[in-house]
Structure 1
Amino acid sequence: MPALNGFLWLLLCWLAGELIVHYTGIPVSSGVIGMLLLCGALAINGGVPESVAAAAQPLIAMLAMLIMPGVTGVFFMIDQLAGQWTAIIISLIIGTLFSVFTTLWLLQRLMRDDHAG
């Protein structure tokens, strides 16, 4: 039953993200808004409850399969991207570097805090 409770939390955060995007019209994915809401709730809670961890673990294992439909969808609009390859490549490089440096910074900070406590 703990996984079901955790899955309910994940669904509620996603649904709240859907409602926020629908009523505000902001151009951000409802999944991103839901994850930000979940992140805020977990930060206030001070950690990840066992139920949320039990529900999220199988989803993480299938992450590649969950991403595939979006990646496949790009091939259906490839002709619309024809004149934008420079912008796409630059944004991919900058986004990748930003992601790597952010991950490294966060890892160093968390490991320093872990060793200090």
Structure 2
Amino acid sequence: MLSILRGFLILTAFLMLGDITVELFALPISSGVAGMLLLTFWLLLRRRLSHDLGAASQPLIGMLALLIMPGVVGIFFQADEFSGQWLTIFIALILGTLLSSLTTLWLMQRLVATPRERPHE
């Protein structure tokens, strides 16, 4: 349980670092996105995932669709603002989804340890 709390503290710290970065440099992205980018760079530098961070993030993966849902629903309330730009939005959504999926797959392959095969006895 303590491990999960430390992991959530790490995630919260990166969210706060993202907020500081967005405010400091007046970036046009959300603090959550900036925090996740900073976390990604940190993990790439360390080349491993700590047990605490893994324990805290594993349950969140199952709820990922729920975390995305509010933004998707919000688009429908502003549909008039996007009239005439649907093709651009569609292409951006497809490319963004593909790139984020490929990045996630690449990071998981690099950071998650795979069990080694045992020699046949």
| TM band (smaller chain) | 0.7 to 0.9
Aligned residue number for residue 50 of structure 2: 49
Number of corresponding residues: 108
Give the unaligned 5+ runs of structure 2.
Answer: 115-121
Q: 1:79 to 1:22 in 2, by over 3 A?
A: same
What RMSD in Å do the two structures reach over aligned CA positions?
2.5
Give the unaligned 5+ runs of structure 1.
Answer: none
Aligned residue number for residue 67 of structure 2: 66
Higher helix proportion: 1
> Normalising to structure 2: TM-score of the pair?
0.75
Aligned residue number for residue 82 of structure 2: 81
Q: State the 1:46 CA deviation.
A: 2.4
Q: Which runs of 4+ in 1 moved over 3 A?
A: 92-100
Q: State the 1:36 CA deviation.
A: 1.7
Moved more, 91-100 or 67-76: 91-100
Aligned residue number for residue 91 of structure 1: 92
1:92 & 1:5 partners in 2: Cα distance?
A: 34
Q: Report the 3-state secondary structure (helix = DSSP H, G, I; strand = E; otherwise coil) of the residue aligned with 2:93.
A: helix
| CA deviation string 1:49-101 (max 9, x = no partner) | 0100000011111000011000010011011111212322333344455557x
1:15 & 1:45 partners in 2: Cα distance?
A: 20
2:96 & 2:10 partners in 1: Cα distance?
A: 29
> Normalising to structure 1: TM-score of the pair?
0.77
